[in-house]
Amino acid sequence: MNDNRPQRPAFLKPGTRDPEPGTWKPLIPQPARVPQVHLFQAGGKPHLLVADGTRVFGVDREVFERLDQASSRGDRAEVKRLLQQFGLDAPPFVTDAPPESFPVRALSLAVAQKCNLGCTYCYAQEGDFGGTARNMPLEIARQSVQRLFEEAAPGERVQLAFLGGEPLVNRPVLREATHHAVALGREAGVDVGFSITTNGTLLTSEDGEFFERHGFAVTVSLDGVAEAHDRLRPFKDGRGSFEHILRRVRPLLKMQKRMQVSARVTVTPRNLLLRPALDGLIELGFHSVGFSPMLSSPSGCGQMQPEDLQAMLRQMIDCANECERRTAAGERYPFANLLTALQEIHRGTHRPYPCGAGGGYLGVSAQGDLFACHRFVDDQSGAMGNLREGLDRHSQAQWLARRHVHRQEPCRSCWARYLCGGGCHHEVIHRGRPACDYIRGWLDHCLKAYVRLLDRRPELFSSLRPSSPVFSAPSAVQSRPAP
Amino acid sequence: MNKIEPKNVSAQLTYRARGNPPSTLPVAAISNCFPGLEFDFRNIWRRIFVGLVMHEARPQVVEVEEEAPDEFQTLVGELLVSVDGEQLWVPVTGPEAAGGPVQSLGFSNLEWANALANILQKAGEQVQCVFFDPDSRQATEVLLQVRRVFDEEGTPVGESGVLARDLAQPGELTQSLCSPWQNDYRECACYYWAASRPDFVNSETDAGGQTAGHNWLHKDRTPDTPKFYSLRQSDMVSYEDLFRNWEQLRFVIGGKDEE
Ligand code: SF4
Ligand code: SF4
């Protein structure tokens, strides 16, 4: 037997539901051969991704083969020369220089650093980030909202996110902060978008009405349907939470007009069957459903290992194929990961960072300290000052310089770097980069799906119409790892 | 030629087809303001006859295509005076100055699109062409094949909007575009280039509603230069000035010379 063959994951016992029965073989790894290009076949034709600027081209056999030969030798100079020869070179889209400063455009408030669930893998360590459970005082929430409007000019848009712990534990402050933001927004002529990430257990229909009124993007953390969810997200006393949550979420699903209620599934080795989760949650009426692998948990518990990621990739591709099929047929099948990727690939999104953390986006702790994002709350590696004394510009500049994808290894030599951005800072700092083959495998699939869909249904991409299923995907920032 | 098809938006925005100058990228092209000016349409006439390369505006042979028979070489520099019995050069009559007597004003060529309208129906056929050598004043008759303008493969006749591949070599369609260092930039009086150049600058309107200002081509003007629209050649930037030193053009912001 070939020793390189990944082990069949333990959960896929013979006779249990295998994603592709009888076809278990390692997925072709997506090695980072040269940093400039990635070559792929889609719809039976050769294609090329030029990493810089995320530019996708259909090419002929000769272009494909010559680039392929040069890149399999790892010959960067020859790849560069060929790109010039074929007129595919361009001035660099992303330079080494980090942005000097960022106006703050989004804040997340850890309104409650406590939680009523006991998820074993939670980054917030059951809500309190490893410290004392606490609620954010109203004054801190108000100051945060004020801070958000400080750098916003009329006509611009800012985002206010509520996270925790479980933010609904501190409902009065959440509501007050929302009202304050609405008032300030009106005064300043600045548009405000609201979002909340919740475990759903405390939702009421009054919450639904409130969120609907203010056009919230509501993300409910669910780890599957029924037992799959209950295994991972029990109440602290061990009872399953799915049925309970569903009772509370259902009225909101019905109310969705301005509000969008999405499901976010954190994937661990114990809930690797994604397709049933996706179908089940879409059927329940969620606006979109997304998955993110658990790469780093404070206890190490539930973290995905390489073979789990391989299994997850197969499942993601299975979901993506279904999504591609349904989208091509004009049906709505809101698999957020694929739709977001298609949208980004179509635009040619190229980012030197994985997300806005530490740049235009900051997290505020219950005590009013500022951090790179919601996940870094009370974590010194992402500390950036506090509301009283202001954003620590020096720490921010250092962060932006250090976290730039050109400064990351092995990202600087990876073709996926401007689509991936180098991976969630929190996971990278705390665990490293165990998921690169998964990320590249996924992006490779998304590129192929993009080209196929573009050929079959170009009108889906012809404008950024919100009615197009491709472009009603949630924004990229929401598709990053689950809080 | 290699086939490369930009697929996504960033690829389309940055892909420069082989031979095209940088000014054809959407970010730089004049078509950014005026869609349709991505290329100079007159260039489609240059290779309308198989074997010859004509001037884009005048019926004159500029060079000979590589695969053409050797005897075509002698046609370089000659004028094409008639095609398939249709005259391309016509006598011009009229007054030389306003109110003057009607007289013969010599010959002038018809604009290509008008002159060849009928010939286009004969794409693929041989037509009789008469050339005239202005030096020896000799005429030569040659049979030439008319090229197809549109690539109609797979489309109903008359419905293709795709120019035939052999009608222009890479880069040719974008030559002679309206850039500051090209004739049209100074010449064009149709206000078509309004986004890229002004016509009337530093204008002021007095209490009586009279407007005065400078010709945009007025040389060495200062705020003190008397405000009248001069058309005197000696006051104006010449073609040659533009070709050699187009940078001397001033920035005009909000209708006024930048200080
Ligand atoms: S983290 Fe992303 S950019 Fe970096 S090496 Fe891995 S896949 Fe490539
Ligand atoms: S991707 Fe990671 S670092 Fe970025 S905002 Fe999300 S959790 Fe924070």
For A196, A198, A211, the CA distances from A193, given in Å and listed in that order, are 11, 17, 11
Query: Looking at residue B188, what is its pLDDT?
Result: 64
Task: State the CATH number of the domain containing residue B65.
Answer: 2.30.42
Asked if B11 and A55 come within 8 Å (Cβ–Cβ), the reply is: yes
**Count of domains observed in chain B:** 2
Is residue B19 a part of any domain in this protein?
no
Read off the pLDDT of each residue in B127-145 and give the average, rounded to a whole number: 95
Same domain, B64 and B141: yes
CA distance B7 to chain A (A): 5
- Interatomic CA distance for residues B100 and A276, integer angstroms: 91
Query: Looking at residue A14, what is its pLDDT?
Result: 33
Question: Widest CA span of chain B, in angstroms?
Answer: 71
Task: Please indicate if any CB of chain A lies within 8 Å of the CB of B22.
Answer: no
Task: Please indicate if any CB of chain B lies within 8 Å of the CB of A419.
Answer: no
Is residue B122 a part of any domain in this protein?
yes
Site to probe by mutation for ligand 2, drawn from A123, A219, A264, A375 as the one with most ligand atoms within 8 Å of Cβ, is: A375
- How does residue B37 score in pLDDT terms, banded at 50, 70 and 90? low
Q: A352 CB under 6 A from ligand 1? A: no
Q: Which residue has the higher pLDDT, B246 or A360?
A: A360
> Do residues B4 and A63 make contact, with C-beta atoms less than 8 angstroms apart?
yes
Q: Dump pLDDT digits (tens) for A256-283.
A: 999 999 999 999 998 999 999 999 999 9
Asked if A59 and B11 come within 8 Å (Cβ–Cβ), the reply is: no
Is residue B240 a part of any domain in this protein?
yes
Same domain, B252 and B197: yes
Same domain, B119 and B194: no
Is residue B161 a part of any domain in this protein?
no
Task: Give B-chain residues touching A54 at CB under 8 angstroms.
Answer: 8, 10
pLDDT at A15 over 50: no
For A65, A443, B172, the CA distances from B43, given in Å and listed in that order, are 35, 43, 7
Q: Dump pLDDT digits (tens) for B98-114.
A: 889 999 998 899 888 88
CB neighbour list of residue B22: distance below 8 Å, 6 or more residues apart: B16, B28
Same domain, B125 and B73: yes
Task: Give A-chain residues touching B11 at CB under 8 angstroms.
Answer: 50, 53, 55-57, 348
Residue B195: domain span = 182-258
Same domain, B54 and B138: yes
Helix H or strand E encompassing B130: strand B126-132
Q: Report the residue of B4, B5, B7, B13 to disrupt the A interface, i.e. the one with the largest count of A CBs within 10 Å.
A: B7
Same domain, B136 and B73: yes
Domain segments of chain A: what residues?
106-383
Asked if A53 and B10 come within 8 Å (Cβ–Cβ), the reply is: yes
> Do residues A327 and A470 make contact, with C-beta atoms less than 8 angstroms apart?
yes
Same domain, B137 and B199: no
Q: Report the residue of A45, A56, A419 to disrupt the B interface, i.e. the one with the largest count of B CBs within 10 Å.
A: A56
Is residue B39 a part of any domain in this protein?
yes
Is residue B10 a part of any domain in this protein?
no
> Which tokens in the block code for residue A385?
């000052």
Nearest to B7 among A56, A90, A93 (CB): A56
Q: What percent of chain B is helix, strand and coil (3-state, nearest 5)?
A: 20, 25, 55
pLDDT at A480 over 90: no
Same domain, B137 and B60: yes
pLDDT at A27 over 50: no
Q: Dump pLDDT digits (tens) for A52-62.
A: 999 999 999 99
Q: Dump pLDDT digits (tens) for A156-201.
A: 999 999 998 899 999 999 999 999 999 999 999 999 999 999 999 9
The reply to whether ipTM tops 0.90 is no
Nearest ligand, measured from the Cα of A439 = 1
Query: Which class in CATH covers the domain with range A106-383?
Result: alpha beta
pTM, 2 dp:
0.74
Nearest to A63 among B4, B13, B14 (CB): B4
The alpha carbon of A412 and the centre of ligand 1 are apart by a number of angstroms equal to 8
Same domain, B141 and B194: no
